[in-house]
């Protein structure tokens, strides 16, 4: 799937994140929030394209992630 932003995440790093998520490592966080924090997305200058990611949870968060990032 082509990403509008052109940002890429290595599949190994993404899979590690998902493993930690499934193990409950991000207690009291939404999936989008955990993703944002895990990958330190606050460091990006352009935050506008990330709108909705931090607030998203569950399947919605996975859809937002797949739209914003290329997993390679």
Q: What residue segments make up the domains of the chain, in order of their start?
A: 7-71
pLDDT of res. 1: 42
C-alpha to C-alpha distance for 54 and 36, rounded to whole angstroms:
6
* pLDDT tens figures, 3-50: 455 789 999 999 999 999 999 999 999 999 999 999 999 999 989 989
3-state secondary structure string across the chain:
CCCCCCEEECHHHHHHHHHHHHCCCCCCCCHHHHHHHHCCHHHCCCCHHHCCCCCCCHHHHHHHHHHHEEEC
Q: Find all residues with CB under 8 Å of 1, minimum gap 6, and list them.
A: 66, 67, 70
């Amino acid at each position: 799937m082509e990403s509008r932003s052109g940002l890429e995440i290595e599949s190994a790093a993404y899979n590690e994140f998902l493993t930690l998520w499934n193990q409950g490592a991000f207690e009291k966080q939404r999936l989008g929030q955990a993703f944002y924090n895990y990958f330190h997305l606050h460091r990006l200058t352009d935050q506008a394209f990330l709108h909705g990611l931090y607030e998203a949870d569950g399947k919605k968060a996975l859809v937002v992630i797949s739209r914003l990032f290329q997993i390679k």
